[in-house]
Amino acid sequence: MLNTVKEHSPEAIAKKAQEMADGFLKKSKDKTLTIGIIGLGYVGLPLAEAYNKQGYNVVGYDIDPRKVEIINNGDVLLKHMDKTRMETLRDSGLLSATTDIAALKEADALLICVPTPLNAHREPDLSYVKKTTVELAKILHPGQIVILESTTYPGTSEEVILPLLEAGSGLKAGLEFAVAYSPEREDPGNPNFETSTIPKVVGANTPAEMEMAVATYNIITTPVPVSNMRTAEAVKLSENIFRLINIALVNELKTVYAPMGIDVWEVIDAAKTKPFGFMPFYPGPGLGGHCIPIDPFYLTWKAREHGVSTRFIELAGDVIAQMPKYVIERISEAMSTHLKKPLAGSRILLVGLSYKKNVDDMRESPTLHLIDQLRQRGADVQYHDPYIAKVPMTRDHPEYHGMQSVPLTKEGVAGFDCAVIATDHDNVDYDLIVREMDLIIDTRNATARVTGLPKDHVIKS
């Protein structure tokens, strides 16, 4: 009885936890640590590359055999990670991509980078996270750390991940394996930042687990420890809520200034010359991507559980949700005023299908909403996007699968009544659009870079 008491004393527990952490830290220092990454998309693949560059073995797991084949062949999966980078990754011999989750047994750190969408009722869909966790629990062994990177509500790691891992493995978190949370901060297509130059927020609930989590990310970047997993989860939501609210604000200002004859982009450019107290955000046709249109509503859902109203966040979401409709009305008005044509029966070319410039990511793209609403109004709609030659199969818009990008040439745009610039890719010939199109609706101020050509047929929206 005495021995049992000693084994469960705070001192004995702390000692056992520290022994687990010390073994992990030694592997990290010796570069014998193996990193397991679950989900090889916009978050997981750059992570794999970052660890690869530091000479660490990586086991990448994905349920999509096509992705796995592309990565193992050194082919391009994401447009912003070119052929040279992918071949370097393949030729290093330090990355193996697989569809066999059992291969993750050899990993010391397991980083979960799977989708966390919303369902039709704006409620968190944790099905991908839960399924992944259940499978990982089957192969979990002592000494491993499991870190969730997917964005979610505060409490997910502690209330969902940890119990599933303990129940499925029979091991005790904090003593036999570790759990932590570190929100992804990828910005695909941004040439100024990459995984290794973006500080990484890390949260864990015990000192030993925090040591292991910090050591995991210290390999590739600067860790920013916070007091626990809930705080780390809240950090990511706060970052994206900040962006949502400010983007909603400038979009509302756009709708206020337009009837006054004021160019909101000119206002923003002048305001940002103030060296303090102002940060520029820019309007557009709506919000896209997997973060800003989704993440804030994880907090609104969780807040309701605590009886708290998130009016500011929900208002911002409502403002943004109206932007595609606002753009459609501007197109309709411009068609009638400039071309004396109705929207019904017109031919519209949407320039840019991805949700942001210089990437091939069309998740939650506002352009898809524009296509929907224009077609409902009877318009014939096509698109041009240098990053998306053909629309892939998507969960929300299977009807657009196979739709092909129209070539941006004089001949290619002939016959279209109007071009709508929805995404401001850098490698689009805006001079040709301004020169050849009779009417242009510019939702991104992309035509501002065109000089020497008349622009009285360009309507900013």
- The residue assigned the tokens 């989860």 is 233
Q: What percent of the chain has pLDDT over 90?
A: 85
Q: Is the pLDDT of residue 3 over 80?
A: no
Q: Is the pLDDT of residue 24 over 70?
A: yes
User: Residue type for 43, please?
Assistant: V
Q: Across all residues in the chain, what is the average pLDDT?
A: 93
Q: Is the pLDDT of residue 152 over 90?
A: yes
Domain boundary at 177, 207, 227, which? 227
Q: What is the pLDDT of residue 4?
A: 47
Average pLDDT estimate for 320-337: 96
Q: What is the pLDDT of residue 6?
A: 52
Distance CA 326, CA 422 (A): 13
Residue 58 — φ and ψ, nearest 5°?
Answer: -130, 130
- The residue assigned the tokens 């916070």 is 226
From 166, 167, 163, 185, select the one nearest 177 (Cα to Cα).
166
- The residue assigned the tokens 């999509």 is 64
Within this chain, do residues 357 and 453 fall inside the same structural domain, yes or no? yes
| CATH at residue 310 | 3.40.50.720
For this structure, is 291 an active site residue?
Answer: yes
The tokens for 32 are 């014998």
At 255, the pLDDT band (50, 70, 90 cuts) reads very high
Cβ neighbour number for residue 152 with a 10 Å cutoff:
24
- The residue assigned the tokens 């002048």 is 270
Within this chain, do residues 219 and 255 fall inside the same structural domain, yes or no? no
Q: Is the pLDDT of residue 101 over 90?
A: yes
The tokens for 351 are 């320039």
Q: Is residue 331 part of a domain?
A: no
Whether the CB-CB separation of 374 and 441 falls below 8 Å is answered with no
Q: What percent of the chain has pLDDT over 70?
A: 98
The tokens for 91 are 């030729």
Q: Is residue 327 part of a domain?
A: no
Distance CA 70, CA 76 (A): 7
Domain boundary at 168, 201, 227, which? 227
Within this chain, do residues 264 and 276 fall inside the same structural domain, yes or no? yes
Domain boundary at 166, 199, 227, which? 227
Cβ neighbour number for residue 146 with a 10 Å cutoff:
28
Average pLDDT estimate for 116-137: 90
Q: Is the pLDDT of residue 103 over 50?
A: yes
Average pLDDT estimate for 178-196: 90
Rg (CA), the chain: 25
Residue 185 — φ and ψ, nearest 5°?
Answer: -135, 35
Q: Is the pLDDT of residue 85 over 80?
A: yes
Distance CA 422, CA 219 (A): 39
Within this chain, do residues 378 and 297 fall inside the same structural domain, yes or no? no
- Tell me the torsion sign for CA atoms 123, 128, 131, 135: negative
- Whether the model clears a pTM of 0.95, i.e. scores above it, the answer is no
Q: Is residue 446 part of a domain?
A: yes
Distance CA 220, CA 213 (A): 12
At 208, the pLDDT band (50, 70, 90 cuts) reads very high
CA distances from 61 to 66, 96, 112, 398 (A): 12, 9, 10, 26
DSSP 101: G
Within this chain, do residues 118 and 19 fall inside the same structural domain, yes or no? yes
Q: What is the pLDDT of residue 334?
A: 97
Q: Is residue 54 part of a domain?
A: yes
Distance CA 118, CA 155 (A): 17
Q: Widest CA span of the chain, in angstroms?
A: 92
Tell me the residue ranges of DSSP E strands in 300-439: 347-351, 380-384, 418-421
Q: Where are the alpha helices (DSSP H) in 390-461?
A: 410-413, 430-436
Q: What is the pLDDT of residue 296?
A: 87
Task: Using the CB atoms, write b or e for 162-199: b if 16+ within 10 Å.
Answer: bebbbebbebebbbbbbbbbbbbbbbbbeeeebbbebe
Residue 162 — φ and ψ, nearest 5°?
Answer: -60, -50
Helix, strand, coil shares of the chain, percent, nearest 5, are 45, 15, 40
Domain that holds residue 86: 2-227
What is the SS3 string spanning 195-212?
HHHCCEEEECCCHHHHHH
Q: Is residue 330 part of a domain?
A: no
From 116, 175, 108, 114, select the one nearest 146 (Cα to Cα).
108
Q: Is residue 213 part of a domain?
A: yes
Within this chain, do residues 32 and 143 fall inside the same structural domain, yes or no? yes
Q: Is residue 326 part of a domain?
A: no
Q: Is the pLDDT of residue 290 over 80?
A: no
At 188, the pLDDT band (50, 70, 90 cuts) reads confident
At 403, the pLDDT band (50, 70, 90 cuts) reads very high
Within this chain, do residues 220 and 273 fall inside the same structural domain, yes or no? no
More confident site: 289 or 278: 278
Within this chain, do residues 149 and 234 fall inside the same structural domain, yes or no? no
At 1, the pLDDT band (50, 70, 90 cuts) reads very low
Q: Is the pLDDT of residue 94 over 70?
A: yes
Within this chain, do residues 170 and 312 fall inside the same structural domain, yes or no? no
Within this chain, do residues 125 and 241 fall inside the same structural domain, yes or no? no
From the candidates 291, 327, 331, 419, which is the catalytic residue?
291
Q: What is the pLDDT of residue 7?
A: 58
User: How many domains is the chain built from?
Assistant: 3
Q: Is residue 160 part of a domain?
A: yes
Within this chain, do residues 172 and 23 fall inside the same structural domain, yes or no? yes
The tokens for 104 are 């993750």
Average pLDDT estimate for 342-366: 94
Look at 11-15, 166-170, 345-349 and tell me which has the smallest mean pLDDT: 11-15
DSSP 81: S
Within this chain, do residues 206 and 236 fall inside the same structural domain, yes or no? no
Residue 12, helix vs strand vs coil = helix
